Structure 1
Amino acid sequence: MFEQTFRNIDNVLWKEAGCATELDYTEQTSWMLFLKYLDDLEFERSQEAELRGQDYEFIIDAAHRWSRWAAPRNADGSFDHDNALTGDDLIQYVSFDLFPYLHGFKERAASSDTIEYKIGEIFGEIRNKFASGYSLRDALELIDELSFGSQAEKHELSHLYETKIKNMGNAGRNGGEYYTPRPLIRAMIQIVDPVIGERIYDAAAGSAGFLCEAHDYMRYGTDGQGDGKGLSTADLQTLQTRTFYAKEKKSLPYVIGIMNMILHGVETPNIVRTNSLTENLNDIQEKDRYDVILANPPFGGKERKEIQQNFPIKTGETAFLFLQHFIKYLRAGGRAAVVIKNTFLSNSDNASKALRKELLENCNLHTVLDCPGGTFLGAGVKTVVLFFDKGEPTRNVWYYQLDPGRSLGKTNPLNDNDLKDFVARQANFEDSDNSWTVSIGDVEQESFDLSVKNPNKAEEEPLRDPEVIINEIETLDKESEAILEGIRGML
């Protein structure tokens, strides 16, 4: 129903000089969608209050409501073109009146877990990139055609928004780091199987894909097609306010993540704009821990020494710091599924070996899913998914080598059927041509090498990835430098 409207919005953005990439398209669509959603939500709440004979206190004041500046109406309900701002007047109003007013909510909000605070944060992070007030007027009128009135409409909008995020990821460059293929996320969630009452956490949330899919799984069932009517009012309230928690460092995915969760039915997402790695792990208390962790942390980044001081195992590799963060934040008995570069399983540097030892001794790493090349579009690295439980050591690791039987790419991406065999066999750690079990007693106790080596397939030793070799050289250089600094300090 709304698909053509989304296409028309993209056409407007494509012609706009201030919007050059898919990231810009998604960002600008997001702030307009958010304000339209907020206006529909406030109207719905005011109607409900009126039926109860109560007054409703609007969040947005009358002068800044969507229905006043974006879509003014005549008495008969028709669009009031005479009073609708456009051209330079519209740009001036949005950039220098509306955005500052909305950003001010961050200071005026009673607490950080309110929708007022989220409004303030969002409009402190993004800016209007429209240069033409006429293009902005066209986009606003298209957004106004969308409706958040029914659950079916919200469901369709959430799918369309997910498509935008996927397109942003497929565009490559920075967009790819915000998008994890949804079939992979859904398989991870089925294995971890979160239930209402548990708290779920992602410290590198990106577009909040893990939390959105977990919400749909818990509310609508395994296939996401249920109606959610079996849940009590208390269950729904728990899902809304005390289930999903996230942190995100960058402004664009932070805004997109909030909008994505809203479209999936979480009205006030518990997403905090912060760099999770700045937290000292020694400060984590039991009350801070979570039952379930689902994440695809950024890999390949290099963190500064002051960041590394927050972690017992010092390393510049961002993903390895996040893995330590997740282990610490998981409560005893908690479950995690984390995407990481497959080189983590075999890197020979001291930090990698120490981290594998930590994982095996303090968690039950029961499953390793080996993902094929092309799983992450635009990312030229191979990945694995680590499934582990906190609180008991690893005894056996069950490996599954995912083989869709075709090359993956933009026109032929990973789908849910590709992962059905993995999910089915994982339930009983069933061996097959693509799955096998390794006893921890057979793992070399010096290196703790956990490389994926399928005993059912005779394969030639593949050439090492140049990126892996370069990373190891850099790591060894840094370790040598640290040793030399220590020697100098003793002289």
Structure 2
Amino acid sequence: MFEQTFKNIDDILHKDAGCGSELDYVEQTSWVLFLKYLDDLENDKKTAAELSGKEYKNIIAPEFQWTIWAAPKDENGKLDHHKALTGDDLKDFVDLQLFPYFKKFKVDAESADTIEYKIGEIFSELKNRMQSGYNLREVINRIDELRFRTHAEKHEMSHLYEDKIKNMGNAGRNGGEYYTPRPLIKTIVKVVAPEIGDKIYDGAVGSAGFLVEAYDYLRHSKNLTTKDVETLQKHSFYGKEKKSLAYIIGTMNMILHGVEAPNIVHTNTLAENIADIQEKDRYNVVLANPPFGGKERAEVQQNFPIKTGETASLFLQHFIKILKAGGKAGVVIKNTFLSNTDNASVSIRKLLLESCNLHTVLDLPGGTFTGAGVKTVVLFFEKGAPTRNVWFYQLNLDRNLGKTNALNEKDLADFVKLQKLSLSGVEAAESENSWSIDVTSLDGTYDLSAKNPNKKEEVALRRPQDILEEMRALDEESADILRGIMDLV
């Protein structure tokens, strides 16, 4: 039901002059979906309060409740067309009354860790882009068909919402900008293994995929006490995001997955001087896929001891600094970080190896990030003791990854199994795809290139489509670099 509804809504938005891309479709579907979800959430809370003999006070004033303005019903439970606004009347109500009302929630909320504050933030950042009040009425009617009352319904909806975010990512220049493949995130979370009570952080939060999966992992890790539930709701998940749309989508994504007041802040993480980070600012776990390929301005670089224009290298310095002693991290980064010979890359590798135990590197195949041709690795490290040995795993698949043939959890099962063995020093962790290196054997450049000594080199002709795909990816990367240079000019 959800899938067909989303497809129908995309068809409606495609006809609207105010919505020109998949990004607009996701944004506009999101705020309507969010208000319907809030209505069902309030109904659930009211029912729970009545069962406990308590009174529930609605967050939303009567005239702005979904069942009054969006979907008033007649005695037969059908849409009451006499009361339901449409056309210009509906558009004027949404633009001039509804959005300003919800925007005010941010000012009136008791504190930032409440759902009221988050509602206010969302509607301060968003606007209704639908130019036709008739299209808006159609979208509302479609969303009204959806129900979020049972766990199964909420799970299906959140899963399909993730698919929409994935499509939004594919619509942008960099597929990884909004969307990291869920099988990869699940695997990273499983390897890092956060615990209830940990403060978990993503400084490049995007659509909040890492925080959502960490929440899901912890929610199923044990039978939760009332205190555990409160800890997960209010004191576990933290994120920062620079871009407006990604910030809004990330916040809504977490609320739609069950975290009512996610601690996500709309800010440029790299604009903060890492020398100002104190113990109270630190986290137990970092999970992130920071943007790579970006070029940061000189004033941003001044916030870091190791100066570089490469966005991902600045983020890595930030993550190392913001981890508590004994804290754990799983960070996706471009594979060239392992071997680049520029002074900044060498210095950051030295910093990482000396201040953290970089125990695992997962080398991913090209095509892992749909729409982005760059090759990536995942760095798993723990802050405190220096690195002695690094265990590498090279993910070699018997197929090429792409939109119709994406990475799945089964692909990563062997890595997860051997990674556990590697931490206990078991020799079985060595395989055709895995090996260890002794850090004392590295030269002065701390080159960590993933050169598999166990893999027999096979000389094979590359398929024409593979060559064309790589050429396209290189063209996109070159265009991104040029755009970055133009931004600096």
TM-score scaled to structure 2, two decimals? 0.91
Counterpart of 1:439 in structure 2 is 438
Query: What CA distance in whole angstroms lies between the structure 1 residues aligned with 2:65 and 2:203?
Result: 33
Provide the aligned C-alpha RMSD in A: 2.4
Q: Show the 5 A alignment for 1:277-288.
A: 277-288=270-281
TM-aligned CA distance change 1:295 to 1:205, over 3 Å: same
The structural deviation recorded for 1:469 is: 12
1:319 aligns with 2:312: yes
The structural deviation recorded for 1:132 is: 0.9
The structural deviation recorded for 1:55 is: 3.3
Which one of the candidate residues 218, 230, 233 is aligned to 1:237? 230
- Runs of 5+ consecutive residues of structure 1 not aligned to the other structure: 222-227, 478-491
The structural deviation recorded for 1:470 is: 8.1
Q: Show the 5 A alignment for 1:406-417.
A: 406-417=399-410
Asked if structure 1 preserves the Cα contact closer than 8 Å seen for 2:91 and 2:133, the reply is: yes
Counterpart of 2:81 in structure 1 is 81
1:273 aligns with 2:266: yes
Q: Show the 5 A alignment for 1:91-110.
A: 91-110=91-110
Q: Which amino acid aligns with 2:338?
A: L
The structural deviation recorded for 1:370 is: 0.6
The structural deviation recorded for 1:406 is: 0.9
Q: Which amino acid aligns with 2:452?
A: N
Counterpart of 2:167 in structure 1 is 167
1:13 aligns with 2:44: no
Q: Show the 5 A alignment for 1:193-342.
A: 193-221=193-221, 230-342=223-335
Q: Which amino acid aligns with 2:364?
A: C
Counterpart of 1:452 in structure 2 is 450
The structural deviation recorded for 1:33 is: 1.1
The structural deviation recorded for 1:250 is: 0.9
Query: What CA distance in whole angstroms lies between the structure 1 residues aligned with 2:332 and 2:279?
Result: 25
Q: Residue by residue, what CA displacement relative to the aligned partner does 1:43-82 show, whole Å, maximum 9, x if unpaired?
A: 2223333444443322211121111111112345332111
Query: What CA distance in whole angstroms lies between the structure 1 residues aligned with 2:80 and 2:337?
Result: 60
Counterpart of 1:151 in structure 2 is 151
Structure 1 stretches (4+) deviating beyond 4 angstroms?
A: 458-471
- The more displaced of 420-429 and 10-19 is 10-19
Query: What CA distance in whole angstroms lies between the structure 1 residues aligned with 2:477 and 2:252?
Result: 40
TM-aligned CA distance change 1:348 to 1:470, over 3 Å: farther
Asked if structure 2 preserves the Cα contact closer than 8 Å seen for 1:247 and 1:273, the reply is: yes
The structural deviation recorded for 1:376 is: 0.5
TM-aligned CA distance change 1:263 to 1:469, over 3 Å: closer
Counterpart of 2:362 in structure 1 is 369
The structural deviation recorded for 1:195 is: 1.3
TM-score scaled to structure 1, two decimals? 0.90
Q: Residue by residue, what CA displacement relative to the aligned partner does 1:308-352 show, whole Å, maximum 9, x if unpaired?
A: 111111111110110011001111111100000011111111111
Q: Which amino acid aligns with 1:137?
A: R
Counterpart of 2:425 in structure 1 is none
The structural deviation recorded for 1:16 is: 1.9
Q: Which amino acid aligns with 2:117?
A: Y
Query: What CA distance in whole angstroms lies between the structure 2 residues aligned with 1:470 and 1:43?
Result: 52
Where 1:428 maps in the other structure, the secondary structure is helix
The structural deviation recorded for 1:153 is: 1.0
The structural deviation recorded for 1:26 is: 0.8
- Runs of 5+ consecutive residues of structure 2 not aligned to the other structure: 423-428
Asked if structure 2 preserves the Cα contact closer than 8 Å seen for 1:199 and 1:244, the reply is: yes
Where 2:270 maps in the other structure, the secondary structure is helix
Q: Quick one: percent identity of the two aligned structures?
A: 65
Q: Which amino acid aligns with 1:168?
A: M
Where 2:85 maps in the other structure, the secondary structure is coil
Asked if structure 1 preserves the Cα contact closer than 8 Å seen for 2:175 and 2:370, the reply is: no
TM-aligned CA distance change 1:102 to 1:364, over 3 Å: same
Query: What CA distance in whole angstroms lies between the structure 2 residues aligned with 1:119 and 1:358?
Result: 41
Where 1:427 maps in the other structure, the secondary structure is helix
Asked if structure 1 preserves the Cα contact closer than 8 Å seen for 2:34 and 2:256, the reply is: no
Query: What CA distance in whole angstroms lies between the structure 2 residues aligned with 1:19 and 1:356?
Result: 44
Where 2:421 maps in the other structure, the secondary structure is coil
Q: Which amino acid aligns with 1:125?
A: E
Query: What CA distance in whole angstroms lies between the structure 2 residues aligned with 1:50 and 1:73?
Result: 24
Counterpart of 1:114 in structure 2 is 114
1:387 aligns with 2:380: yes
- The more displaced of 62-71 and 458-467 is 458-467
Counterpart of 2:426 in structure 1 is none
The structural deviation recorded for 1:141 is: 0.9
- The more displaced of 335-344 and 251-260 is 251-260
Asked if structure 2 preserves the Cα contact closer than 8 Å seen for 1:170 and 1:410, the reply is: no
Where 1:20 maps in the other structure, the secondary structure is coil
TM-aligned CA distance change 1:69 to 1:115, over 3 Å: same
Q: Which amino acid aligns with 1:408?
A: L
Query: What CA distance in whole angstroms lies between the structure 2 residues aligned with 1:419 and 1:51?
Result: 45
TM-aligned CA distance change 1:291 to 1:378, over 3 Å: same
Where 1:72 maps in the other structure, the secondary structure is coil
- The more displaced of 284-293 and 55-64 is 55-64
Asked if structure 2 preserves the Cα contact closer than 8 Å seen for 1:343 and 1:468, the reply is: no
The structural deviation recorded for 1:270 is: 1.3
Q: Residue by residue, what CA displacement relative to the aligned partner does 1:105-155 show, whole Å, maximum 9, x if unpaired?
A: 112222221111111111111111111111110110111111121111111
Query: What CA distance in whole angstroms lies between the structure 2 residues aligned with 1:205 and 1:469?
Result: 22
Q: Residue by residue, what CA displacement relative to the aligned partner does 1:406-456 show, whole Å, maximum 9, x if unpaired?
A: 111111111111100111111112111111000001111x21111111112
1:142 aligns with 2:135: no
Asked if structure 1 preserves the Cα contact closer than 8 Å seen for 2:174 and 2:372, the reply is: no
Asked if structure 2 preserves the Cα contact closer than 8 Å seen for 1:23 and 1:175, the reply is: no
Counterpart of 1:33 in structure 2 is 33
1:349 aligns with 2:348: no
Asked if structure 2 preserves the Cα contact closer than 8 Å seen for 1:155 and 1:263, the reply is: no
Query: What CA distance in whole angstroms lies between the structure 2 residues aligned with 1:215 and 1:96?
Result: 36
Query: What CA distance in whole angstroms lies between the structure 2 residues aligned with 1:90 and 1:168?
Result: 27
TM-aligned CA distance change 1:370 to 1:270, over 3 Å: same
Query: What CA distance in whole angstroms lies between the structure 2 residues aligned with 1:469 and 1:156?
Result: 35
Q: Which amino acid aligns with 1:135?
A: N
Query: What CA distance in whole angstroms lies between the structure 2 residues aligned with 1:116 and 1:174?
Result: 33
Name the count of aligned residue pairs.
Answer: 466
Asked if structure 2 preserves the Cα contact closer than 8 Å seen for 1:168 and 1:176, the reply is: no
Asked if structure 2 preserves the Cα contact closer than 8 Å seen for 1:30 and 1:255, the reply is: no
